Amino acid sequence: MTTLNTANNKVPSLTLNNGVEMPLLGFGVFQITDPAQVEAAVLKALATGYCHIDTAQAYMNEEAVGRAIKKSGIPREEIFVTTKLWVSDMAEGKAATALDRSLERLGLDYVDLYLLHQPVNDVFGAWRDLEKALANGKV
């Protein structure tokens, strides 16, 4: 069961079944392709009070998002990061490799949420990879 949290005048969040607190409002970088614009936009969003950044492997801007997170000076644990697995990597073994590539591009040890972006193909195999990633602290 999820719980809605609205204390401390923060962005409302949900506590997920695994205890992770997920901000309900996030800043997405879909269709921002220029790396400098992505970095500037994410820095501004974080400075404004956003604490959830949403990107994806398919957006091809994870590197700029990662640079902005580092430059922000905000502790990593205070920023909720979502990225997504693309359909071409939706298979057991491939999903784990794709997550590692996303983590490398982001310059992070873990993401807070890893979504199956358009879940098709070997969804169950990809899911097994994600369960292992969760157990290993990558998600």
**pLDDT tens for residues 71-122?**
999 999 999 999 999 999 999 999 999 999 999 999 999 999 999 999 899 9
Residue owning tokens 């400075």: 47
pLDDT of 9 reads 56
Which is the catalytic residue, given 50, 59, 110, 114? 59
pTM more than 0.85: yes
Amino acid at 32: I
Mean pLDDT (whole number) for 35-53 = 97
% of residues, the chain, pLDDT over 90: 86
In this structure, which long-range contacts are made by residues 68-73, counting pairs with CB atoms below 8 Å and at least 24 apart in sequence?
A: 68/38, 68/39, 68/40, 68/41, 68/42, 68/43, 69/42, 69/106, 69/107, 69/108, 70/107, 71/39, 71/43, 72/42, 72/43, 72/46, 72/47
* 114 tagged catalytic: no
With a cut of 70, say whether residue 127 has pLDDT above it.
Answer: yes
* End-to-end alpha carbon distance in the chain: 20
Q: How far is CA 117 from the centre of its chain?
A: 12
